[in-house]
């Protein structure tokens, strides 16, 4: 009988210890850490323990251990949040450098919780969002002894959409009409060119004619036109005039001879009649 009672007593003790350990693992966690308080106040560094249950949790004999295995022993109870200020106790440090780990240990040095973080900006904390949840980056405003608040989502600054500038329609410039400039053209000089028509008639006379020709205007208006005396035309003109004069003179001379012959013949005939008539008178007397 005593053996049975002793067995049940041992069973209840181990059950209580195991249940307490599991309950501690579930109910308490390192919830928030401030490794870099404003200024040089290292005593302002703190660690927050969170109790997720509705009843106070006794932490007598629990420990916090830093990355160098320096420990501080906890005491008291956690209503909802418990803030611990190490203040360099036993060489414990809330480091603000590369990856750092703070571990919560049970009375038997079993690991209850682990909080891993890196260097933080000044006066910004690392914490779980929501309380007891996943660890959030160091963008939290510190809330020691209170519920952690998610960092505000930055509202993107809307860039004003520029109003499209209307493209100016190019004004059509009127095409200038070409100005017609009056260019003085040189009047063509009429140069008389003699044309000799040789008529092979019975009389053998030459008829002199003149043909006017139009000379093309010089392509260069500034070029001086050389004036030449028409010697050939003058020569033909003088020769033709001489031939006409000779022909006229010959014609008049021949006509005069014929006229003189006729006149002389008529006079001779008259004289003969008078003589005949006189002779007749003498014979009758």
Boundaries of every domain in the chain: 2-140, 190-284
Of 56-60, 134-138, 159-163, least confident by mean pLDDT is 159-163
213 against 133, higher pLDDT: 133
Average pLDDT of the residues in 60-69: 94
CA distances to 87, 224, 243 from 70, in Å? 13, 123, 159
CA distances to 135, 157, 160, 166, 240 from 163, in Å? 45, 18, 9, 9, 101
Distance, in Å, from the CA atom of 208 to the CA atom of 225, rounded to the nearest integer, reads 28
- Whether 24 and 111 have beta carbons less than 8 Å apart is answered as no
- Whether 191 and 229 have beta carbons less than 8 Å apart is answered as no
Distance, in Å, from the CA atom of 283 to the CA atom of 278, rounded to the nearest integer, reads 9
pLDDT in tens, 37-56: 887 767 789 999 999 999 99
Closest CA to 64 of 96, 97, 28, 37: 28
pLDDT in tens, 214-267: 455 555 555 444 556 667 777 788 888 888 888 888 888 887 777 777 777 767
**For residue 173, what are its two tokens?**
């410039």
pLDDT of res. 242: 84
% of the chain surpassing 90 pLDDT: 28
Distance, in Å, from the CA atom of 122 to the CA atom of 39, rounded to the nearest integer, reads 8
- Whether 235 and 196 have beta carbons less than 8 Å apart is answered as no
Query: With helix as H, strand as E and coil as C, how does 44-104 read?
Result: HCEEEEEECCCCCEECCCCEEECCCCCEEECCCEECCEEEECCCCHHHCCCCCCCCEEEEE
Distance, CA of 50 to chain centre: 63
pLDDT of res. 269: 65
Residue 36 carries which DSSP code? S
- For residue 168, pLDDT over 90 is answered with no
- Whether 61 and 107 have beta carbons less than 8 Å apart is answered as yes
Class of domain 2-140: mainly beta
CA distances to 51, 77, 114, 139 from 35, in Å? 21, 24, 16, 13
**Pairing label, strands 111-117, 71-73:** unpaired
- Whether 50 and 28 have beta carbons less than 8 Å apart is answered as yes
Average pLDDT of the residues in 148-161: 76
Q: Chain-wide mean pLDDT for the chain? A: 75
pLDDT in tens, 79-94: 999 999 988 677 888 8
Distance, in Å, from the CA atom of 151 to the CA atom of 46, rounded to the nearest integer, reads 20
pLDDT of res. 218: 55
Average pLDDT of the residues in 173-192: 67
pLDDT of res. 26: 54
Distance, in Å, from the CA atom of 135 to the CA atom of 41, rounded to the nearest integer, reads 25
Length of the chain counted residue by residue: 285
Res. 271 pLDDT band, cuts 50 70 90 = low
């Amino acid at each position: 009988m005593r053996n049975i009672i002793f067995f049940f007593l041992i069973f209840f003790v181990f059950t209580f210890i195991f249940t307490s350990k599991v309950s501690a693992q579930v109910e308490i966690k390192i919830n928030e850490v401030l490794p870099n308080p404003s200024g040089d106040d290292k005593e302002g560094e703190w660690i927050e323990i969170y109790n997720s249950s509705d009843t106070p949790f006794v932490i007598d004999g629990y420990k916090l251990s830093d990355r160098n295995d320096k420990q501080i022993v906890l005491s008291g109870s956690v209503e909802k949040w418990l803030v611990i200020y190490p203040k360099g106790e036993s060489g414990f440090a809330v480091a603000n450098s590369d990856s750092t780990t703070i571990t919560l240990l049970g009375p038997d040095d079993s690991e209850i919780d682990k909080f891993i973080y890196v260097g933080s900006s000044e006066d910004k904390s690392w914490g779980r969002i929501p309380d007891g949840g996943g660890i959030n980056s160091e963008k939290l405003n510190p809330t020691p002894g209170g519920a952690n608040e998610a960092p505000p989502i930055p509202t993107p600054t809307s860039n004003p959409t520029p109003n499209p500038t209307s493209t100016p329609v190019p004004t059509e410039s009127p095409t200038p009409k070409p100005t017609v400039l009056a260019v003085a053209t040189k009047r063509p000089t009429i140069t008389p060119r003699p044309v000799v028509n040789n008529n092979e008639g019975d009389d053998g006379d030459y008829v002199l004619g003149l043909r006017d020709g139009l000379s093309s205007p010089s392509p260069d208006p500034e070029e001086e036109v050389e004036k030449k005396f028409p010697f050939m035309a003058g020569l033909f003109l003088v020769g033709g005039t001489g031939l006409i004069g000779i022909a006229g003179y010959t014609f008049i001379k021949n006509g005069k001879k014929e006229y003189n012959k006729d006149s002389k013949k008529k006079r001779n005939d008259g004289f003969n009649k008078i003589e005949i008539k006189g002779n007749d008178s003498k014979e009758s007397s």
